[in-house]
Structure 1
Amino acid sequence: MKNILKNEYDIQQMRISGKITANVLEMIEPYIVPNASTEDIDKICYYYITQVKQAIPACLGYKNFPKSICISINDVVCHGIPNKKLLLKNGDIVNIDVSVIKNNYYTDASKMFFVGSVSKKNKLLCKIAKKSLYLSLKCIKNKKKINTIGKIIQQYVEKKNFSVVKEYCGHGIGKNFHEFPHILHFYNQNDYIIMQTGMIFTIEPMVNEKAPFVHCMEDGWTVKTKDGGLSAQYEHTILVTKHGCEIITHQKNEKIPKILFNT
């Protein structure tokens, strides 16, 4: 267990990386407009990460993923590949997932964007996904069971008559993209892992409009809902502290503090 706990140097480096990841998501917002090519959005992010921030896009080349970010539109749950022929349309909901390496440390975050005029129903799906993440952060602190995270997310999402994707989960992160522990977004009573001060992991619930079932497309990456319902996701990289948590990838205009003190 000790090797998954970050020391003060690790934490400081991940704050630097996390700030860059957050900055990418803040920077790209004005470009999320009707008729924008997802390939152009990817190129803007690539330039910003590599040239402006002198960092590395972690997705590019990861298990042969061909682009710098993931862009998942409407019924795409995750891992959407940017493409010059894929244009954003008015009314789309879009997840942009950014992972950055800076000084050999990874951080990971994603959020939803609205393209033009989006229906109230679709905005609600995104709101519930974000709220499920925020609610789960309020349970995080040293010596708390890690399965509390999934319990809170699942209970809230299902109470709102949406569903949680179970095939994908959050993960430890640091000098590697994916580390121990796995962070499930549903309740698993057999998960006995206890949170400890110095753990850093992602929480990234994927919330579906209809059923929770998904399938992967022939490209080997793009994951869609099986029933064609829409999907929304928010993700943050989180540091467990003695009295709560710190959102390493906190962005401007978030309606939650960067540092939470959880009693």
Structure 2
Amino acid sequence: MTIPLFKGSEVDRLRRASQAAAGTLAYVASRLAPGISTADIDAWVREDTARRGGKPSQLGFHGFPATVCTSRNQVVCHGIPRPDEYVAPGDIINVDVTTFLDGFHGDTSATFLIGEVSAEARHVVDVARRCRDAGIAVVRHGARLGDIGAAIEELARKEGCSVVEEFGGHGIGHQMHAPPTVPHTGKRGTGIKLRSGMVLTVEPMVNLGRPGIRLMPDGWTVVTEDGSLSAQFEHTILVTGDGCEVLTRQELVLEIPVPTLPRLIAEASALHGG
């Protein structure tokens, strides 16, 4: 397994691709509201990615039919945007954006809270975000891949949540998915040694209930087996000698307010041609 080490102008281009993806995610966040469809999110990603000079990496990847993954509530990952799926108050929704720009990919996601959500929903979103950050915190030259998974799994268990084992992070660069696979569970001191110049994603999927998952008939959408809520956060990171650089860092507002009823009706009508 050959894992590329990036340096110089390659890192600059990785930063640009990653910041383009992060900017598109922030743009979507600024437009999220109850009443929009997940197909609206797909259209916004398509438009904003083009404005930034990039292409949506996910479109057509192994046949994936959309530019973005939109995963609501019990959907763990790979939710396909649909014109008949609407975001509602009380939902949590993960938006996963990957951009191809100037020969490189950048990959990021966040889970948003729509209006007033349950305490359980707020908890799983908070734990997922902190699990991502706990995994990133142990990354540095000479650390082991298992250190990342162990840090994530330890925190999730402490908070009464579970981590999906079937999906992990990955290397990224000229390819959207490249070696190594980054497990989000594991044992400290195991796995390959990280080296400066490696670029990885850390993107734990955290379930409020058990870790089991189920694939839906569309062949893409993955849901929790027990119907519990699931949340995910993702960054693309560059391994450095004393830690790492988060290439997709972006300030995001995760809590999406519910507009007043008259404004909600007007906005929904405008969005859907009413």
Q: Describe the SS at the equivalent of 1:99.
A: strand
The worse-fitting range, judged by mean Cα deviation, of 29-38 and 189-198 is 189-198
Deviation at 1:35, TM superposition (A): 1.2
Give 1:9's aligned residue.
Answer: 9
Contact 2:3–2:198 (CA under 8 A) maintained in structure 1: no
Q: Structure 1 residue 245: deviation in Å?
A: 0.4
How many residues are matched? 253
* Residue 239 of structure 1: how far off its partner (Å): 0.4
Q: Does 1:22 align with 2:60?
A: no
Which residue in the other structure is 1:94 paired with?
93
- Report the RMSD for the aligned CA atoms in angstroms: 1.4
Offset of residue 191 of structure 1: 4.1
Q: SS of the residue aligned with 2:223?
A: strand
C-alpha distance in structure 2 between counterparts of 1:68 and 1:18, whole Å:
16
Deviation at 1:7, TM superposition (A): 2.0
Distance 2:81 2:75 in 1: 12
Counterpart contact for 1:37–1:84, Cα < 8 Å = yes
Kept in 1, the 8 Å contact 2:147–2:188? The answer is no
Which residue does the alignment assign to 1:59? 58
Normalised by the length of structure 2, the TM-score is 0.89
Write the mapping of 1:37-56 to structure 2, written as runs, cut at 5 A: 37-50=37-50, 52-56=51-55
Larger Rg computed on CA atoms: 2
Matched to 1:180, the amino acid is P
8 A Cα contact 2:147 2:190, kept in partner: no
Alignment gaps of 5+ in structure 2 = 254-274
Partner of 1:129: 128
> Structure 1 residue 241 and structure 2 residue 240: aligned?
yes
Q: CA separation in 2, counterparts of 1:116 and 1:156?
A: 27
Q: How far off is 1:138 after superposition?
A: 1.5
Instruction: Give the TM-score normalised by the residue count of structure 1.
Output: 0.93
**Structure 1: how far apart are the matches of 2:115 and 2:188?**
42
The within-5 A match list for 1:175-254 is: 175-188=174-187, 191-252=190-251
Identity among equivalent pairs (%): 36
Question: For 2:16, what is the secondary structure of its paired residue?
Answer: helix
Shift of 1:197: 0.3
Q: 1:146: how far off? A: 1.4
Q: Deviations over 1:144-182 (max 9, x none)?
A: 111100000001101111000000000000000111111
Residue 79 (structure 1) shift = 0.3
CA contact (8 A) 2:144 2:189 kept: no
CA distance in 1, matches of 2:251, 2:55: 22
Question: How far, CA to CA, are the matches of 2:126 and 2:91 in structure 1?
Answer: 15
